[in-house]
Amino acid sequence: MLDPSNGGTAVDSAAAGPPGGLASAVQRRSEGWRADIDGLRAVAVLAVIVFHLRKRWLPGGFAGVDVFFVISGFLITRAIVEDLSAGVFSRTEFYRRRVKRISLPMLAVVLATVAFAQVALLPKDALATAWSGVAAVLSGANVYFWRALDRSYFAPGTDEVPLLHLWSLGVEEQFYLLWPWVVPWILGRRGTANGGASGLAAHVEDESPRRDAATASLPAGRMALMAAVALASFLLGDALFGSAPYFAYYMLPTRVGELLVGAILAFAVAGGALQAPGSLLREAAGAAGAALVLGSLVLLSESKPFPGWRALAPTVGAALLLLSGQGMPSAVSRVLSLRPLVAVGRVSYSAYLWHWPLIAFWKYGFRQVGDLAGLGIFAATFALAAASHRWIERPARRTTASAERVAVLQWFVPGGVVMAAALLAIATRGLGPRALSASYAGRLDAMHRVLRPAYGYESVCQYHRVESERLFEPVRCVNGAEGGPDGVLLWGDSNAAHYVGMLDVIARAAGFRFRNFEVTSCPPVLEAPGRLARKPLQKALCEAASRLVKSRIGRYPVVVLAGRWDGYTQDGLFDALAGTARGLVAEGHRVILVGEIPRLPEFYDPDCGRRALSFPGLDCPAQVTAPIAPEVRALNARLAEIAERTPGVEYFDANRELCPEGRCSAFAADGTVIYRDSTHLTMPGSILLGQAVLSARGVPPPFDQVPAWLAEAGRGAASPPRDRDPS
């Protein structure tokens, strides 16, 4: 994160220093300020902000956070080592400094964010914002987002979660809780229990003869252990990405390596090994560090697993840049010391805190950040950052109050205000002042019923996890004509689930029943579906789903396959689908391939109506339309081709009814919302589509043949679904 730890400005008056008393201690630490570190902070925060505004401009800009972790590890460790060397180290004083530097700006942002959320966001999102605010006050934002972030298929993007960026501050705060206990152990030194001016001079006097020995000789074994822990942290990030990616991204164990790299550099400098590196070493370190950091910002992308070994490049690069400015400046450190960069670096903490809620709220309401909006957000970020730095950060950091007063005035009291606001929001379930309006709640509930995702209906069995064969047992998964023959399986992903309403209308008219079974983001193919999944997390899930279907599919003479076909790796998709169809036919099944629906523009926001009930200035379009894209026509043509050349396989799509005259609409003539998002139908829209098909074609081929196929398979009369039989 962007904690403005020692090194960006002179520390407060209780800082320790060499023999000579309090004044010389402050002077020494003030002289240790490095402009290049503020410049490096500026590079990091600008990279993060640009990435969040325009990912394509700087696809690896998120690595700016990793640069901050290195800076924090370096500066925090350097401060502790200096205090230990001077004999004035106090954990109480350490925590006092951290509160002064971190708490008030963060709490101000959390309070403003939670308050605005209660009048602008949908209640469920305002409620989640309030809970994340509570977690942030308790230094556990990263833990909250690891455990509670909505990961469901139709969950809003993480770029609409206003306090998500505080995960990194949670990582640092947890590190700060532990590190002042670890550093003295590494150095074999014991810190004092209390600080203060009178005690400070005494400790300086008592410990000064041992100062050089304390920093020049570092315990090799413990330093090696620290390096091993750092390496293990990077390896752990890689190891956990497949099974626990949210833990790997948000939690301290997989991020501590970045902080420890900075700490190792601080120890090395304090020990004298790198106290004043030669000019050649400084220049080489600066050039290599710049290449690694800038290369990471350009070449990394969020499509690759991160952190892990990929985090080594920005981490090592940041450490080399810190090294290049140690002692005499290098060419790179001179660039980082330019006044504009230093000015940005000084307000980097507040800029980081404010930029993300501004972006998240804008995207929540307006979906996209256009050029003009992006410039406005950028300007507003630094305007708020300057104000926060001037009227909150600097006064808080300059106070000479005791640790007890700092804790009360800068943490417990303002933190209590934030907690009270958040708990009030939680008590009203995110409605806030809107709880006083009965009309708001009624209109919101009516819109919610229409926009409920397919898996929110009792009749739809779409799963995000595959845990056991019992997933095939619920009676609610069976739809169609009451008393009609069963033996039909609708299998696919969320784009199969949104056809349940349409197929239910058709099945009732044709006189059969069907079971539906859908697994999110998994193609309905029997062999190696995992290799077709684009999301790494889905690979194992898709394989498990395929195994479960194989064990049960013999009970269904007719299999209907549907999916978002362009949502998978195209290399080998249609071969795999054709192979599945041929295999099923060979085993005596009839197969129906269902075409993909056309897509609406990405900017289409079905939630706009609900959000517009309270979001300031939000104006929703009365209609959103789009033509059937050529790629969708081509994709469905491939499906029709498979059916045409494979006996026993049929093809069906309802796009002529969904998109009359080749143009698709988000809303029906009566105002019913048809599209839940740009690629999924609402359940009312799916039902309307089924009715439109019946009106235009009657029971359409090939579904008009299903009763006869079931009769041929001995399923012509009504019978209980066999997979409900425990035997």
pLDDT tens-digit map of 206-257: 333 334 434 445 678 888 999 999 999 999 999 998 889 899 999 999 999 9
Q: What is the DSSP letter of 338?
A: S
Other beta carbons within 10 Å of 350: 27
User: pTM for the whole thing?
Assistant: 0.80
Least-confidence region, from 415-429, 512-526, 661-675, 682-696: 661-675
Q: What is the 3-state secondary structure (H, E, C) of 395-437?
A: HHHHCCCCHHHHHHHHHHHHHHHHHHHHHHHHHCCCCHHHHHC
> What CA–CA distance (Å, rounded) separates 255 from 70?
10
Q: What is the mean pLDDT of residues 592-617?
A: 91
> What CA–CA distance (Å, rounded) separates 149 from 129?
11
> What CA–CA distance (Å, rounded) separates 396 from 650?
72
Q: Residue 603: its pLDDT value, please? A: 80
Give residue 87's identity as a one-letter amino acid code: G
Query: For residues 54 and 2, which has the higher predicted lDDT (pLDDT)?
Result: 54
Q: What is the mean pLDDT of residues 614-639?
A: 91
The length of the chain in residues reads 727
Indicate the average pLDDT of the chain.
Answer: 87
* Among the four given CATH numbers 3.40.50.1110, 3.40.50.970, 3.40.50.720, 3.30.460.80, the one describing domain 450-722: 3.40.50.1110
What region does 661 belong to: left with phi over 0, alpha with psi -120 to 50, or beta?
A: left
Q: Residue 15: its pLDDT value, please? A: 29
Domain layout of the chain by residue ranges:
35-433, 450-722
Identify the burial level of 23 via C-beta atoms within 10 angstroms of its C-beta, where 0-12 means exposed, 13-18 middle and 19 or more buried: exposed
> What CA–CA distance (Å, rounded) separates 443 from 613?
8
Query: Has residue 127 got a pLDDT over 80?
Result: yes
For residue 439, how many C-alpha atoms fall within 13 Å in the half-sphere facing its CB? 2
Q: What is the DSSP letter of 553?
A: G
Q: What percent of the chain has pLDDT over 90?
A: 71
Q: Residue 303: its pLDDT value, please? A: 84
470 by DSSP, 3-state: which?
helix
Phi, psi for residue 539 in degrees, rounded to 5: -60, -55
Phi, psi for residue 474 in degrees, rounded to 5: -60, 135
pLDDT grade, residue 368 (50/70/90)? confident
